[in-house]
Structure 1
Amino acid sequence: MDNCGKSSLSRKCDRKQKRCQHIVEKETGIKCTLLASKSIAICNAGLVNGLSEETVYQNFIEYGPIDNITMVPGKSCCFIRFKNIESASRAFENINGKLNIGQNNKPVYLSYVESIPNPKPIYQNKMPPGLIVIEDFISETEESILMELCNFNEQENGSMKHRHVKHFGYEFRYDINNVNKDKPLEDKMPQECDFLWERLKLRHIEFKPDQLTVNCYKPGQGIPPHIDTHSAFEDPIISLSLGSSVVMNFKNENISMPVVLPRRSLTIMSSESRYAWIHGITPRKLDIIPTQNDLSVIHRSTRISYTFRKIRHGECDCQYTQHCDSYAKRLKSKSNSIKNKEAMELETTHVYDVYDIIALHFSDTRCKPWPNVLKFLHSLEVGSILIDVGCGNGKYLGCVPNVFSLGCDRSFGLAEVAGQRGFEVFSCNCLNIPIRDNTADGCISIAVIHHLANEERRLQAIEEMARVLKIGGRCLIYVWATDQQRNQQKTSYLKQDRKNRKENGVVVPEQPTENVSVTGDITLPVHQNRTQFQHQDLLVPWKLKAELAPNNEENVFLRFYHVFVEGELERLCSQLDYVKIVKYYYDQGNWCCIFEKTK
Structure 2
Amino acid sequence: MASIQDLGATCLDRFVVSEAPPSVYYIPEFITKQEEQFLINQVYAVPKPKWTQLSHRRLQNWGGIPHPKGMVLEKLPQWLDTYSHKIASLGALNEKIPNHVLVNEYTSGQGIMPHEDGPLFYPVISTISLGGHTLLDFYHHPTTQCDENSVDEAAKVATPEDRLFGSLLLEPRSLLISKDEMYTKYLHGIADRTHDTLTGKVLNVDACPQRAIGDVLERKLRISLTIRHVPKVLKIKLNLGRR
2:192 to 283, 291, 295: 283
Question: In the TM superposition, what whole-angstrom CA distance separates every residue of 1:74-99 from its partner, at most 9, and x where no partner exists?
Answer: xxxxxxxxxxxxxxxxxxxxxxxxxx
Q: Which one-letter code corresponds to 1:142 in the other structure?
A: E
Q: Quick one: distance in 1 between partners of 2:50 and 2:82?
A: 27
Q: Quick one: distance in 1 between partners of 2:110 and 2:218?
A: 13
* 1:127/1:259 contact within 8 Å kept: no
Q: Which one-letter code corresponds to 1:272 in the other structure?
A: E
Matched with 2:30 is: 137
1:236 to 124, 128, 136: 124
Q: Structure with the greater relative contact order (CA < 8 A, sep ≥ 6): 1 or 2?
A: 2
Shift, 1:155, TM fit:
5.3
Q: Which one-letter code corresponds to 2:113 in the other structure?
A: P
Shift, 1:217, TM fit:
0.7
Structure 2 matches for 1:224-303, cutoff 5 A? 224-230=113-119, 232-252=120-140, 253=145, 254=163, 256-291=165-200, 295-303=214-222
Q: Quick one: distance in 1 between partners of 2:167 and 2:85?
A: 30
Q: Aligned in 2, Cα 1:170/1:180: closer, same or farther, shift over 3 Å?
A: farther
Identity over aligned residues, as a percent? Answer: 30
Matched with 2:232 is: 313
Matched with 2:60 is: 166
Question: In the TM superposition, what whole-angstrom CA distance separates every residue of 1:513-540 from its partner, at most 9, and x where no partner exists?
Answer: xxxxxxxxxxxxxxxxxxxxxxxxxxxx
* 1:258/1:289 contact within 8 Å kept: no
Structure 2 matches for 1:107-506, cutoff 5 A? 126-151=19-44, 156-171=50-65, 179=67, 181-182=69-70, 184=72, 188-200=75-87, 203-205=90-92, 206-230=95-119, 232-252=120-140, 253=145, 254=163, 256-291=165-200, 295-313=214-232
Question: In the TM superposition, what whole-angstrom CA distance separates every residue of 1:120-148 from its partner, at most 9, and x where no partner exists?
Answer: xxxx9722321211111111111111111
Q: Aligned in 2, Cα 1:291/1:183: closer, same or farther, shift over 3 Å?
A: closer
Shift, 1:192, TM fit:
1.5
Question: In the TM superposition, what whole-angstrom CA distance separates every residue of 1:143-197 from its partner, at most 9, and x where no partner exists?
Answer: 11111122277655210112111111113xxxxxx636545265x2122233334
Q: 2:188 aligns to what SS in structure 1? A: strand
* 1:168/1:185 contact within 8 Å kept: no
* 1:236/1:270 contact within 8 Å kept: yes
Q: Aligned in 2, Cα 1:283/1:139: closer, same or farther, shift over 3 Å?
A: same
Q: 1:273 aligns to what SS in structure 2? A: helix
Question: In the TM superposition, what whole-angstrom CA distance separates every residue of 1:462-488 from its partner, at most 9, and x where no partner exists?
Answer: xxxxxxxxxxxxxxxxxxxxxxxxxxx
Q: Which one-letter code corresponds to 1:289 in the other structure?
A: L
TM-score, scaled to structure 2: 0.66
Q: 1:258 aligns to what SS in structure 2? A: strand
Question: In the TM superposition, what whole-angstrom CA distance separates every residue of 1:427-485 from its partner, at most 9, and x where no partner exists?
Answer: xxxxxxxxxxxxxxxxxxxxxxxxxxxxxxxxxxxxxxxxxxxxxxxxxxxxxxxxxxx
Q: Quick one: distance in 2 between partners of 1:294 and 1:145?
A: 32
Q: Which one-letter code corresponds to 1:256 in the other structure?
A: F
Q: 1:295 aligns to what SS in structure 2? A: coil
* 1:143/1:242 contact within 8 Å kept: yes
CA RMSD of aligned residues (A): 2.7
Question: In the TM superposition, what whole-angstrom CA distance separates every residue of 1:246-265 from its partner, at most 9, and x where no partner exists?
Answer: 10001223561011011111
Structure 2 unaligned blocks of 5 or more: 1-16, 146-162, 202-211, 234-243
Matched with 1:379 is: none
Q: 1:149 aligns to what SS in structure 2? A: helix
TM-score, scaled to structure 1: 0.28
Shift, 1:294, TM fit:
5.5
Matched with 2:151 is: none
Q: Aligned in 2, Cα 1:189/1:181: closer, same or farther, shift over 3 Å?
A: farther
Q: Aligned in 2, Cα 1:203/1:213: closer, same or farther, shift over 3 Å?
A: closer
Structure 2 matches for 1:3-152, cutoff 5 A? 126-151=19-44
Question: In the TM superposition, what whole-angstrom CA distance separates every residue of 1:12-64 from its partner, at most 9, and x where no partner exists?
Answer: xxxxxxxxxxxxxxxxxxxxxxxxxxxxxxxxxxxxxxxxxxxxxxxxxxxxx
Q: Quick one: distance in 2 between partners of 1:153 and 1:285?
A: 29
Structure 1 unaligned blocks of 5 or more: 1-123, 172-177, 315-599
Q: Quick one: distance in 1 between partners of 2:102 and 2:88?
A: 22
Q: Quick one: distance in 2 between partners of 1:154 and 1:199?
A: 28
Q: Quick one: distance in 1 between partners of 2:73 and 2:91?
A: 30
- How many residues are matched? 183
Shift, 1:237, TM fit:
1.5
Matched with 1:585 is: none
* 2:127/2:225 contact within 8 Å kept: yes
Q: Quick one: distance in 2 between partners of 1:238 and 1:244?
A: 17
Q: 1:189 aligns to what SS in structure 2? A: coil
